[in-house]
Amino acid sequence: MTGMVWSTPSRGGYLYADNLDKHLRMALQNTCKFRAFADPKEDALGLHKGNTYRWDRISTIANRGGPLSELQRMPESQATVGQSELTIQEFGNSIPYTGLLDLQSELAVKDAIDQVLRDDARGTLDDRVAYEYFQTPLRVSPASGTSTTEIVLTTNSAASTTNNIALGLGHVKAVSDTMKDRNIPAYDGDDYAAISHASTLTNVRDEMEDIHQYTETGISLIFRGEIGRYRNVRFVEQTEVPKGHANDAAFSESSASANFIYSATNDAWNNAKSSWCLFFGADTVIEAPAVPEEVRAKIPEDYGRSHGLAWYYLGGAGLTHTDAENARCILWDSAA
């Protein structure tokens, strides 16, 4: 059988040995970053609600109001209503183990498997939410590929310039101004958030060391993994999603039978000077957890000789605004 057994040391037998250290050492795992910024919808909780979750998108008013004369009739206008949806799906993974392993292991088999499954669930679901951020139609890249202060914005989900320079504060300033000009709502207070790799943010971090990053007031929450703040953008480091994601190596949705349903190629940009960075405001990604992630035990089989644990989640995620006019997220990107 696949899973964990007593007879193979690397698949369970090592859980008992003479003078075994009682401290269980786990492989390194990342912590959730993308899901921390998603907007969970409480009305999606529960069963018997179908496999589709929808939300309305209402435009601004078509014609603004203004001053009226005494005998003038009140002007009339309208707003348009659009609708988006996401699909509720099952997610999960399991580790079976034998009754013999459980009976003869000195350490608790269930505790070890439970921790491994929780780490797997966290990474898988964080990937799922991250996938939606990368669907934003707004992309920016440095002008001419090397400008330190000017960016080029595209609204068709594809960068027009091959990026050939590291991300710096000049680019951050330009992105921040672009987000404000587009009236993208701030995520927390007056601040936007940005997520990327530590190495992608190296220049940004170094440049921020010599400036005042925070004020004593106005910061009510420090995000997990946050390294600093500049021009109303607060930066968070992550390790879950690999580098790459240029137009010719995009973050993609693979077949449902794959171990990682939402995967990304670790393909560096052609000039390897930078990598992706997501800048976003509020109401960017919706998560609809019909059944929040949980660990479940398998009903023992073969007269109690076959056991197992699994994690299970029923839900989905979706980009709140898919149109460029109302998009809340800008991706620092490259054409290749």
Predicted TM-score (pTM) of the model is: 0.82
Q: Which residues of 261-279 are buried (b: 16+ CB within 10 A; e: fewer)?
A: bbbbeeebbeeebbbbbbb
Kindly report the number of other CB atoms within 10 A of residue 156's CB atom: 10
Kindly report the number of other CB atoms within 10 A of residue 33's CB atom: 22
pLDDT score recorded for residue 49: 82
Mean pLDDT by 10 residues, the chain (336 residues): 76 64 53 88 78 86 92 92 90 94 87 90 90 94 96 95 94 97 94 95 85 51 80 92 68 47 64 92 93 91 93 93 94 92
Q: How far apart (Å, rounded) are the C-alpha atoms in residues 45 and 155?
A: 34
pLDDT score recorded for residue 30: 61
* Those residues with Cβ within 8 angstroms of residue 113's Cβ, 6 or more apart along the chain or in another chain: 4, 95, 97, 309
Q: How far apart (Å, rounded) are the C-alpha atoms in residues 47 and 233?
A: 38
pLDDT score recorded for residue 215: 47
* Lookup: tokens for 96: 């079976």
**DSSP letter assigned to residue 105:** -
What phi and psi, each to the nearest 5 degrees, are found at residue 129? -70, -40
Residue type, 103: L
Q: How far apart (Å, rounded) are the C-alpha atoms in residues 54 and 44?
A: 10
Give me the residue spans of the domains in the chain: 1-7+30-60+79-336
pLDDT score recorded for residue 246: 64
pLDDT score recorded for residue 80: 86
Parallel, antiparallel, or unpaired for β 329-332 and 39-40?
unpaired
Q: Report whether 250 contacts 262 (CB < 8 A).
A: no
The residues with which 330 forms a beta bridge, in sequence order, are: 138, 279
**DSSP letter assigned to residue 25:** P
What phi and psi, each to the nearest 5 degrees, are found at residue 126? -65, -40
Q: Report whether 255 contacts 313 (CB < 8 A).
A: no
